[in-house]
Amino acid sequence: MSSILIVDSGSTKTDWCLIGAKKKPRHFQTSGLNPFFRTEEDCHRLLTDELQLNPAKEEIAKIVFYGAGVKNKKQSDFINKILRKHFGVKNTEANSDMLGAARATSGNEKGVCCILGTGSNSCFYNGKKIMTQNPSLGFIIGDEGSGTYLGKKVLQYFFYNTFDEDLKAAFTHKYGDDLSDILHKIYKDPLANRYLASFTQFLIEQRGHFMVENIIEDAFIDFYQRHVLKYRESWKHPIHFIGTVAYEFRDIIHSLHEQYGLETGNILKSPTEGLIKYHKTEL
């Protein structure tokens, strides 16, 4: 019996799921496969070293990839080439992570779908395809509400001496206070976005402190004002979310929806289960 390999790749990690008509889904995980940050050689090495799935032993009929960094045909072709070479499968699709988020949360229904993870993105989905989408400007000039956006706020509050003594002590205990080391990692590390997003953990651990709550709420308001509220469909259809940041701070989303008069849809940490349900119909 042939199987479908579903791939959900962010900048930080990639979730792989092999599904069959009568088989229990099998899950695997590797580092992220973002074509913005990975070379072809990097990708092949990652698949060989990290993916505990032997293509020669599996009857994979189709691979459907959803990934951060797949914005156009060039990036789609890049991913398809890597998948076909590694797995020996001709039937591959490389789609944006935004389409994956929409299919996972909305299925075949209309909705405004958002991603809040390492990065951020949004769209209006009509149940079949993405109809309108605000541009995603990346972590340097965009990604409002994301892990990278929140991470930058944490660093600003600490090094600009805005945190109170308790938060400064907590930050120093967890990360130290070597500014030159942190800046080196940000400006020299090819995966700087992932490094910045790691500071979101500090906010998770310090929930309840008014400064922390302000940082999170302000970041989410920035996301809503620049993205969600730009879609006129936001007042007609549910607002769905995918991503670790959205899931961790879902109480903020519910609060904002009460303020704005919006309907809360699905808030999922990962799109995997939703994508399994969506693609099961093809088996």
Amino acid at 78: F
Cα 160 to its chain centre, rounded Å, is: 29
With a cut of 80, say whether residue 278 has pLDDT above it.
Answer: yes
Q: Which residues pair with 115 in a beta bridge?
A: 121, 242
In a domain, 220, yes or no: no
Burial class (CB in 10 A: 0-12, 13-18, 19+), 240: buried
In a domain, 171, yes or no: no
Domain of 73?
3-101+272-280
In a domain, 44, yes or no: yes
In a domain, 213, yes or no: no
For residue 142, the model assigns a pLDDT of 80
For residue 136, the model assigns a pLDDT of 81
CATH of the domain at 81: 3.30.420.40
In a domain, 78, yes or no: yes
In a domain, 9, yes or no: yes
- pLDDT tens digit sequence for 53-83: 888 788 899 999 999 888 889 999 999 999 9
For residue 219, the model assigns a pLDDT of 97
- Span 130-135, mean pLDDT? 92
- pLDDT tens digit sequence for 75-132: 999 999 999 999 999 999 999 999 999 999 999 999 999 999 988 999 999 999 999 9
pTM of the predicted structure, to 2 decimals: 0.86
Q: How many structural domains does the chain have?
A: 1
In a domain, 212, yes or no: no
In a domain, 42, yes or no: yes
